[in-house]
Each structure stands twice: as structure tokens, then as C-alpha cells.
Amino acid sequence: MGAGGPTCITCLRDHDDNDADNDAADDGTNDPYFYGGRERAAYYDADDYRAFEPAPDRPPGLETDTGAS
């Protein structure tokens, strides 16, 4: 990681996507990984997105919470 924070693979991918798009155009491959926008979004279904949790709110029930910490 640089000083700017965590390595965001989505951000890193933009540069490679450009290269990959060119490669794909050159060799005629059709790998969805190399395509952005709606094509890539449609590559995953709702359950795939549900595997990623949202950010937590303030912790409730400090004294009695028994869930995983």
C-alpha cells in the first residue's frame, strides 16, 4: 500500500483494463473480466454482492452483546 491508504484492486484494475481491452481487441478474446460497465456488472448476481457486508453502525448493546466481536 502507498501512503494514501489500502490497495483498492478496483482502482488498480482501471489501468490494466485499458491494456486488457486493447489486448482483447487484438486477439479477439471475450473474457468478461476485462470489460467494465454493464457487461461486468451483469457477470455477477445479487447473491454474489450479498457476500460483501456493509459498514457497521455504532456498536449497540456494549454490555450485553454476545455476537462475534
Partner 1 sequence: MSAGILYYALGGGHGHVLRGLAVLSRLGHGTLLGPPALAPWAAALGVAYVSPPAAGAREWFAACPAPALLVVDVFPRGVVAELTPLLGRAPAAWLVARRVREDYYLHPPVRAALESRYERVLWCETPPPALADLAVGATPLPPILLRPRALDRAEARRRLGVAPGEPLILALGSGDPEHQRLLCRLLVKIAGRRGAALRFVSSELEAAPPVVALFPAAAWLDAADVVVTAAGYHAVHETALAGVPTVLVPQARAYDDQRWRAREGVVASDPGALEAAVARLLGGGRRRPVRVGDGAAALARLIERRMELGVLGQEEVAPVA
What is the nearest approach in angstroms of partner 1 to the Cβ of residue 28?
Answer: 18
For residues 9 and 26, give the distance between their C-alpha atoms in angstroms, rounded to a whole number. 25
Toward partner 1, which CB reaches closer, 28 or 66? 66
Toward partner 1, which CB reaches closer, 28 or 37? 37
Contact 31, 21 (CB under 8 A): no
Element (H, E) at 27: helix 9-27
Binding site for partner 1 (CB under 8 A): 1, 5-10, 12-13, 16, 33, 40-41, 43-44, 47-56, 58-60, 62-69
